Amino acid sequence: MTVLDFASFAPKEELAVDTHHFRDSMRHLAGAVSVITVGRGDDRTGFTATSVSSLSVEPPSVVVNLNRSSSSWPVLQRYGSFAVNVLADDQQHIADRFAGRGGIKGVHRYDGADWSELVTGTPSLSGALTVLDCELDEAIERHSHSILIGRVRAITVRGEAQPLLYWHGAYRHISAPLGG
């Protein structure tokens, strides 16, 4: 077995990268828009994310990044579960609510949409393209964020609508039909 010494991969000197330039660079990554829901009852909140990806099939797990200054962080720590709700292209208003547009916070982000509970009890969005109900397996704290590893406990797939995408600072839609 090979053991890597990760210290040898560390930068020899701290390089100054302009944060605005970094943000502009990251705007070129297109991503599916998801709403990450956490909590129960009146102690619910969540956030809009494009930083979601699969980690493994065995066991089924995903990775989500969460800023620890977010109001979702302490709620996630209390309940230890979250749901990834992948949005359809007609659900931009839900993405905006969970992004906090208009000053909407906490449980009020859930107004105006239908929600149910899956295995963990975390709210799942009716009409989402797919919902991954996850138990928090591990939270790795790095810099300002935590890398959340969620073990998938339940999956709901709700149709073949087009996904809502985010690219270059705006919501986008796929213009080509599936298989086209």
pLDDT tens for each residue of 117-135? 999 999 999 999 999 999 9
Q: Is residue 65 helix, strand or coil?
A: strand
* CATH number of this structure's domain 31-167: 2.30.110.10
User: Domain residues of the chain, as ranges?
Assistant: 31-167
Comparing CA positions, the residue from 95, 17, 115 lying closest to residue 50 is 95
Residues 99, 176 contacting (CB under 8 angstroms)? no
What pLDDT band is residue 5 in, cutting at 50, 70 and 90? low
Rounded Cα gap, residues 158 and 165, in angstroms: 18
Instruction: Give the tens place of pLDDT for each residue, 22-33.
Output: 888 888 888 999
Ramachandran sector of residue 167 (left: φ over 0; alpha: ψ -120 to 50; beta: rest): beta
Comparing CA positions, the residue from 159, 160, 156 lying closest to residue 178 is 160
